[in-house]
Amino acid sequence: MTDPEAALAAMTPLAAIRERIARTAAIARRKAGDVTLIAISKTHPAEAILPLIAEGQRVFGENRVQEAEAKWPALQEAHPDIALHLVGQLQSNKAEEAVRRFDCIHSLDRPSLLTALARAMDKSGRRVPLFVQVNIGDEPQKGGCAVADLPALLGEARMAELPVIGLMCVPPAGIEAAPFFALLAKLADDHGLPARSMGMSDDFETAVMLGATHIRVGSALFGARG
Ligand SMILES: *Cc1c(COP(=O)(O)O)cnc(C)c1O
C-alpha cells in the first residue's frame, strides 16, 4: 500500500500540486480540468520558470506590468502557447501595456481603471478577459472593489461591453479563508459570472472545494520569494 503523503513528497512541486488538485476535485465531485492552475512567477527569474514550462505548465501569473515586460517576451516567443495573467494592482496609466502583454487581468477594481481598460482594448483590438477583484474582507488598506460597490461596477462593465468573466479575491491574512471563498462564489453566482479566481499556496484546496476555477499558486511551486 502506498502512503499518499510519501507519494506527494517524491514528486516535483508542480506534479504534487496537480495531484492535490486532482484529489480535492474528486472529493468535491468536480473535474480537475475545470480548475486552471496559474503559476505565480513574480520575483522569480526565467531560470526558475523554464523547468515548469518543460513539465508542461502553460499558465503563468505576474503581479507587476514592468516585471512581466522584462521577463516574458523571450519566454513567450519560445513558447507561444503560454498564457500570462496579471494578478496585481493595475494603475490606469499602465492599462495599455497590460492589455498588450497579458492574456487575462484579475484586478479590475474601480471605474477609472474600467474606463482605461475599455479604451486600451478598443485601441489594440485585443479583448482580454477580466476578473473583478473584490475586497472580500472589507479591509481598509486592501485593493479590490468593496462588496457594496460590486453591482455598480459590474453594471458599468456591462455598459462598456468589457469581457468580465468572473470575480477574484485575496482573503484577509491569518484567519480561515473558507467563508470568504464561499462569499466570493455566492457573489459570482448572484451576478451570473462563471469564473472564480481564489486560493493560493496555503489554501488552494479549500478554494477548489468551494468552486475556484482559477487558483494562483506561487511559493508552493517556486519556493519562498527572496
Ligand atoms: C503572490 C500572489 C499569489 C501567490 O501567492 P503564494 O502564497 O506564493 O502562492 C496569488 N495571488 C496574488 C494576487 C499574489 O500577489
How many whole angstroms from its chain centre is CA 85?
A: 7
**Set of cell numbers at residue 64:** 507587476
CB 42 less than 6 A from any atom of ligand 1? yes
Whether residue 226 has pLDDT greater than 80? no
Q: What is the pLDDT of residue 130?
A: 98
Distance 39 CA to ligand 1 centre (A): 9
Q: Do 172 and 200 form a contact (C-beta atoms < 8 A)?
A: no
Q: How far apart are CA 20 and CA 33, in angstroms?
A: 13
Q: Give 121-175 pLDDT, tens digit per residue.
A: 999 999 999 999 999 999 998 999 999 999 999 999 999 999 999 999 999 999 9
Closest ligand 1 atom to Cα of 87: 13
Query: Model's pTM, two decimal places?
Result: 0.97
Give the start-to-end residue ranges of the domains of the chain: 4-222
Closest ligand 1 atom to Cα of 170: 13
Q: Give 163-196 pLDDT, tens digit per residue.
A: 999 999 999 999 999 999 999 999 999 999 999 9
Taking alpha carbons only, the member of 180, 224, 161, 210 closest to residue 24 is 210
4-222: in CATH 3.20.20.10: yes
